[in-house]
Structure 1
Amino acid sequence: SDLTADHSQASNSLESYSSCSSNSSVEQHMYPTVYSLFFIVGFPANCLSLFVAWKLALQGNSMAVYLVSLCVSDLLYTVTLPVWIGMAQRWNISDQLCGVMYLIMYNSFYVGSGLLCCISVDRYLAVVYPLHFHWVREVRAAALLSAAVWLLEIFLHILLLHHMGALQSFNLCHQPMPLTQKDADVALVRVVLGFLFPLVVMTLCFQQIMQSLRRSRSILEEERRKVGITYVASFVPYQTVMFLRVVLEPGACGWARRLRDPYLVTVAMTTLNSTLDPIIYCLINESAKREIG
C-alpha cells in the first residue's frame, strides 16, 4: 500500500489475490516501455551528475553536498527499475530480491523529498538572509544534515514497516487488495510526512525567495523553480490517488479495482522526478557546465 508495493503488486496481482483481484494490462504494457526509457536516460544522467556534484563538493560548495546525496538517492531509485520491468513481464523474481528492491526504492523516494527540503531551506537562507546563518551553509553542516535525512528516513520506514508486520516475515511484495485499515493508516502517515510536509516547506521557501528576488532575474532560481514544478508534477498525481485509496479503499474491493489503473499510472509518473533531477540541478547549472567542460 505504498509506492514500491504497487510495483510488486502490479506483477503479482493474479497470483497473490484471490478474493479481490484486478486484471490490469497497465503494468504489462506500460511499465516495461516507460521504465526502460527512464532507465536509459536516468542512469547515465545520474552517474554524470553525481560526478559533477562530487567535484563541486570537494571545492567547498555546500549545495553540492546535498546534490551528491540527491544523486545517490536518485541513482538507487533508478537501478531498481530493471527488476520492476522483469516483474511486470512475469519473470521469476524471488521474494527476497523483490523485498530488497522495495526497501531501496522506498527509502530513496522519501530521502529525495527530505533532501529537496534541505536544498530549499539552504537557498532560502542564502537569498533572504545572506549575512546570517553562514554556519548552516557550510560543507560540514550540509554533510551532517544530509546524513541526518538518510538516518531519519530509514528509521521512520523501519518503524512503519514493523507496524505493518512486514519486516517480521520480510513479505514486502505481497500485500492485500484492497488495503487493510492498518495499511491505510500507515499510508496516510507517509502521505503527510513524505509529501505534504516537504511540499509546504519548499513552497514557503520558494515564496520568500521570489519576494527577495522580485526585482532581479536569477538563472539559478529559475532552475530551482523548474525543480519544484518537476517535483509537483511527478508526485501530486500519485499522492492524490494514494490519499483516495486511504479514504475509500479499506475493505472495499470495488474501489480497489477502480483505483488500480490510475494508481499504476501515477506510480510510473513518480520515476520522472529521479530522471529530471540530475538534468535540472547539475547538468544545466552554470558551475556544473564548467566542471564538465
Structure 2
Amino acid sequence: MTMNATSNSNNSCVIMNSLSGHLLMSMYIVAFILGLLFNLVTIGPIIQQIYRKNVLGIYLFSLSISDLLYILTMPLWIYYFNNNHRWTFGQELCSLAGFFYYSNLYISIFLLCWISIDRCLAITFPLRVQAFRRQRYAWIICGLVYIFVMTLHSLVLYLDKLSDPLDDSEQRCYETFPMTERIAMFNLIRVGIGFFLPLIVITVCYCLIPTKVQQSRGVDDQGKRKVKLLSMGVIGIFSFCFAPYHILLMVRSIAFFTVGDKQSCIIEQKMYIPFTCSLALSSLNSVVDPVLYVLASNGVREDMKFFCWKNKTRNATRSQLVDSKRTTRMTNCC
C-alpha cells in the first residue's frame, strides 16, 4: 500500500512473489486477532474511566475506535495478500480500506502525542492546567484530530486525483510503482509532520515527566515506576511500529529525487519486501495501544476486574432468576 499513482505498470517496475504475500498475510492475521481481542476486552474498562470523569479515558476510547475501524478492514488485506496481491473487491472497497489504514495510522500518532502532552502538563503544571483538563475539551480535541487527519487525507487523494487507486492491469490496491514527483514530495512532508514532529514532542514530554516525578515527594516508588514504564512504552511504539515505515518511506522518496524516475524502479524492487513488512509492522499499533495505556494504569486494571465481576454478577443474577421462575412453574404445576 503506497499512496501514489502513475501510468507505469507494476509488472515492469516491481516483481512481487508469493513469499512476500504469505509473510504479509501472516503478520496481518496476528495483528487482526490480537488487535480485535485486546480492543474488545479493554473498551469496557475504558468506558468505566469515562463514567468516572477521567480525561485519559476519552483519549483511550478515541484510540480504540480508530483501531477497531482499521482492524475491521484487515480481513480484506489478508485475502488480498493471500490472493497474490490481486484485489477482487472493486475500487470502492480498495479506496475505503486504504483510507481507514492511513487515517488510523496518523490518528493514533497524534492521539499518542496529545496524551503525552496532557500527562506532561498535568504533572509539570498541575494547578495551571486543571481548568483545561475537562472531558468536554478532551472530546473536542479528539474530534479535531479525527477531522484534521481524515480531511487532510481526503484532500490529498482528491488533489492527486487518486479516484482509482486500483491498478487496472494488475488489480493491485495502493501498490503502483514507481512514485510520482508530487507524491515523493508529499511523503517527505508526511514523514516530517506526521512522524518526526510528534516523536520530538513525545520525547521532550517523557524527558520532563520523570524529572518532575523524581523531584516530587508526593509520588511513591510504584507511581514513579509506572511513569517510567509508560514513557518507555510510548517511545517503544514509535520505535517499533512507526519508525521503520516512515524511515523507509523517507529513503524511497529521497532516492526518487536522487536517481530519477527510470532508475528508481531498481531501488523500489530492492526495498519492496522491507517496506511492505514495515507497513505491516505499523498495523501492530492497534495491538499495542490498548495494552500500553490500559495495563500501565492501576485504575484501569481495577476497572477491568470490576467490569468482569459486574458481568459475572449480572449473569449469576439472571441465572438465579431463571432458576427461580422454573421452580415456581414446577411448584404451580404440582
1:285 maps to which of 297, 308, 320: 297
**1:271, 1:36 → 2: CA distance?**
11
Report what 2:134 is aligned to: 138
1:220 maps to which of 226, 243, 247: 226
**1:174, 1:230 → 2: CA distance?**
25
Gaps of 5+ in 1: 10-14
Go from structure 1 to structure 2 and tell me whether the alpha carbon gap of 1:214 and 1:22 turns closer, same or farther (over 3 Å shift). Answer: farther
Note the C-alpha offset of 1:186: 1.5
**TM-score if structure 1 supplies the norm length?**
0.89
Note the C-alpha offset of 1:171: 4.8
Go from structure 1 to structure 2 and tell me whether the alpha carbon gap of 1:34 and 1:18 turns closer, same or farther (over 3 Å shift). Answer: closer
Q: How does 1:20-169 map to 2 (within 5 A)?
A: 20-90=13-83, 92-167=88-163, 169=164
Report what 1:239 is aligned to: 246
Note the C-alpha offset of 1:135: 2.4
Note the C-alpha offset of 1:193: 1.6
The percentage of counterpart residues that share the same residue type is 28
Go from structure 1 to structure 2 and tell me whether the alpha carbon gap of 1:175 and 1:34 turns closer, same or farther (over 3 Å shift). Answer: closer
Q: Deviations over 1:120-177 (max 9, x none)?
A: 111011111111111221111111111111111112112222221114x465934531
Q: Deviations over 1:187-214 (max 9, x none)?
A: 1121112111111111111111122123
Residues 1:211 and 2:217 aligned together: no
Q: Deviations over 1:231-251 (max 9, x none)?
A: 222111111110011011351
Go from structure 1 to structure 2 and tell me whether the alpha carbon gap of 1:127 and 1:239 turns closer, same or farther (over 3 Å shift). Answer: same
Q: Match for 1:138: what amino acid?
A: R
Which structure: larger Rg? 2
Report what 1:17 is aligned to: 10
**2:70, 2:197 → 1: CA distance?**
21
**2:71, 2:228 → 1: CA distance?**
26
Note the C-alpha offset of 1:288: 1.1
Report what 1:12 is aligned to: none
Q: How does 1:247-262 map to 2 (within 5 A)?
A: 247-249=254-256, 251=261, 252-262=264-274
Report what 2:190 is aligned to: 190
**2:166, 2:10 → 1: CA distance?**
14
Q: Name the count of aligned residue pairs.
A: 283
**1:86, 1:121 → 2: CA distance?**
39
Note the C-alpha offset of 1:227: 2.5
| Higher mean C-alpha displacement, 182-191 vs 221-230 | 221-230
Q: Match for 2:94: what amino acid?
A: C
Q: Match for 2:192: what amino acid?
A: V
Q: Match for 1:285: what amino acid?
A: S
**TM-score if structure 2 supplies the norm length?**
0.79
| Higher mean C-alpha displacement, 155-164 vs 195-204 | 155-164
Gaps of 5+ in 2: 168-172, 306-334
**2:123, 2:295 → 1: CA distance?**
22
Q: Deviations over 1:78-132 (max 9, x none)?
A: 2221111000011633222111111111111101111011101110111111111
Q: Match for 1:154: what amino acid?
A: M
Residues 1:267 and 2:243 aligned together: no
| Higher mean C-alpha displacement, 88-97 vs 190-199 | 88-97
**1:256, 1:45 → 2: CA distance?**
35
Q: Is the 8 A contact 1:164 1:186 kept in 2?
A: no
Residues 1:230 and 2:237 aligned together: yes
Note the C-alpha offset of 1:26: 4.5
| Higher mean C-alpha displacement, 59-68 vs 15-24 | 15-24
**1:283, 1:75 → 2: CA distance?**
18
